[in-house]
Amino acid sequence: EAVAVVVVGAGVAGLTVANLLLEAGIGCVVLERHTRDHVERRQRAGVLDFAAEQVYARSALGDRLLAGAPRSTVLEFRVDGVSRLFDADAHTGGRTGRLIPQQLLVRRLISAFLDAGGDLRFSAADVALHDLDGDRPHVTYRDAGGVERRIDARHVAGCDGFHGVSRAAVPPGALTTHRHTDDFRWFTVLTDSPPPRHPLMALSRHGFAAHFGRGPAASRFYLQCAPGDDLDGWTDERVWRQLRLRLADDDLPDGPVVEKAVIDARSVVVDPMSYGRLHLVGDAAHIVPPMGGKGMNLAIADADVLARALVAAVRDGDDGPLRAYSATCLRRVWNDQEFSRWLSDVVFHGADEATAGPFRWRLARARLDRIFTSPSAARAFAELMAGTA
Ligand code: RFL
């Protein structure tokens, strides 16, 4: 069989590319390794920034995808137990993001695609990419019934996350990988307990902690932890005790802990994001650390740029936007890497003088103080949160 574009991976990136292509009348097939149920349950991010929201608002999908998702207008920093509210709405002129759990967005993207007649194949095993540097690449896989399949395509969108097959299909040496890992780690838990009033980041001598909502009855917390700290040390009892201490809130309501993970403060950027007729999108091409909430938003921004470039190439015979795809995306990727690092630095080093040392601790506190005292610094911060168009 033959199609204009094969999309590998049905995460936020792949589903956004696929929906935008379908809307423009470009044929595509999406291949996803997991079942629909698995993909629809994966809980990760929770904030759609303003730039990502605009991607959907410009398409016919906006109302359907964003229904009921409240705006995120205020961010709370709680410093040594004292609350400081950052009014993002005022500093961006209303260009604030929306609170929407990633799996709800994924669920809606899947149903929108299928309702519009999209071809989405779950449980696709052993996906492999071939002849990427020729004019006519093809993709092979085993379908849910175990039958070997082959799809010829003009382009392949590699949207299969950081551990997918797309980037691995590129010959060694064709891509440069930039990496940086800090010596601190984040411990994150997902709980069935009420969300905070506003997204909350707390700095105190007990260490950093953050509390973000994931829908009306769930929360994601982040706690800074030491390099040697692993999951075994974090009993539920320690989690809640540490959260109450760090958030300076004895009445923090608890609830079942649904998921725990320790994540490195890791940044990765692959350059270029294209190889022949393969284009990498989202986590397949870059990883940003959790602070700043840009991972999902970068995936959506890449998907938008790629979908437009593919429409120009396939429908209008204009390859220019596709050739510029990588450079267009990388400018935003590096901007957001810097933002995420900057914010991680503020909240990590600004939390605990004993860990950061007196000099870095004071620098970090000064950085945070600046966004509450300088209107132009506040605006710059709010713009970075809103995302670059
Ligand atoms: P995804 O979402 O990982 O989707 C990739 C899809 O590809 C499929 N796949 C394959 N399909 C076919 N063949 C193969 N060989 C395949 N290999 C993989 C996978 O099953 C999956 O369906 O990548 P995408 O679309 O690029 O989206 C990126 C975002 O998911 C990611 O950046 C964010 O979730 C990162 N992230 C966060 N981002 C934010 O913006 N804000 C947050 O608060 C936030 N919190 C998080 C996060 C990531 C987390 N993880 C992954 C550790 C919290 C966590 C815990």
User: What tens digit of pLDDT does each residue of 89-109 get?
Assistant: 999 999 999 999 999 999 999
pLDDT confidence of residue 198: 95
Band of pLDDT at residue 122, cut at 50, 70 and 90: very high
DSSP 32: -
> Rounded to the nearest whole angstrom, what is the distance from the C-alpha of residue 206 to the centroid of ligand 1?
31
Crossing angle for the helix pair 12-23 and 295-316, to the nearest 10 degrees: 30
Cis peptide before 172 (omega within 30 of 0): no
**Residue with token string 């320790």:** 262
Q: Quick one: what percent of the chain has pLDDT higher than 70?
A: 100
> What is the rounded distance in angstroms from the CA atom of residue 140 to the CA atom of residue 146?
12
What are the structure tokens assigned to 127, written together? Answer: 């996906």
pLDDT confidence of residue 38: 97
Pocket test for ligand 1, best of 15, 37, 41, 44 (most atoms within 8 A of CB): 44
Band of pLDDT at residue 228, cut at 50, 70 and 90: confident
Atom of ligand 1 nearest to the CA of 166: 15
Are the C-beta atoms of residues 311 and 317 closer than 8 Å to each other?
Answer: no
Are the C-beta atoms of residues 271 and 178 closer than 8 Å to each other?
Answer: yes
pTM assigned to the model = 0.96
What residue ranges define each of the domains in the chain, with the CATH number in brackets? 2-72+97-178+266-339 (3.50.50.60), 182-265+351-386 (3.30.9.10)
Give the list of residues 6+ apart from residue 333 with CB closer than 8 angstroms, or none: 269, 285, 286, 288, 298
Compute CA distances 250 → 158, 177, 203, 244, whole Å.
46, 45, 16, 5
Band of pLDDT at residue 264, cut at 50, 70 and 90: confident
Atom of ligand 1 nearest to the CA of 34: 20
pLDDT confidence of residue 357: 93
What are the structure tokens assigned to 238, written together? Answer: 């320690």
∠ CA 215-219-223, rounded to 5°? 150
Nearest CA to ligand 1 atom 48: 44
> What is the rounded distance in angstroms from the CA atom of residue 5 to the CA atom of residue 21?
9
> What is the rounded distance in angstroms from the CA atom of residue 199 to the CA atom of residue 343?
14
Band of pLDDT at residue 260, cut at 50, 70 and 90: very high
Atom of ligand 1 nearest to the CA of 281: 26
pLDDT per residue as tens digits for the range 325-337: 999 999 999 999 9
Position 173 pLDDT exceeds 90: yes
Nearest CA to ligand 1 atom 23: 161
DSSP string, 63-112: HHHHTT--B--EEEEEETTEEEEEEHHHHHTS---EE--HHHHHHHHHHH
pLDDT confidence of residue 372: 97
Atom of ligand 1 nearest to the CA of 141: 13
Atom of ligand 1 nearest to the CA of 261: 55
| Mean pLDDT value of segment 156-180 | 97
Band of pLDDT at residue 230, cut at 50, 70 and 90: confident
pLDDT confidence of residue 184: 78
Cis peptide before 272 (omega within 30 of 0): yes
Rg of the chain (C-alpha set): 21
Give the mean pLDDT of the chain. Answer: 95
Q: Cα 23 from chain centroid? A: 23
SS3 3: strand
pLDDT confidence of residue 231: 82
| Mean pLDDT value of segment 299-312 | 98
> Rounded to the nearest whole angstrom, what is the distance from the C-alpha of residue 295 to the centroid of ligand 1?
8
> Rounded to the nearest whole angstrom, what is the distance from the C-alpha of residue 125 to the centroid of ligand 1?
18
pLDDT per residue as tens digits for the range 182-222: 877 889 999 999 999 999 999 999 999 999 998 899 999 99
pLDDT confidence of residue 225: 87
Ligand 1 neighbours by CB, cut-off 6 Å = 8-14, 31-34, 39, 44-47, 102, 124, 127, 159-161, 164-165, 188, 261, 263, 282-283, 290, 293-297, 299
DSSP string, 104-154: HHHHHHHHHHHHTT-EEE-S-EEEEEE-TTSSS-EEEEE-TTS-EEEEEEE
Single-letter residue type at 118: G
Single-letter residue type at 372: F
Q: Are strands 74-79 and 200-203 parallel, antiparallel or unpaired?
A: parallel
Q: What's the distance, Cα to Cα, between the start and end of the chain in Å? A: 37
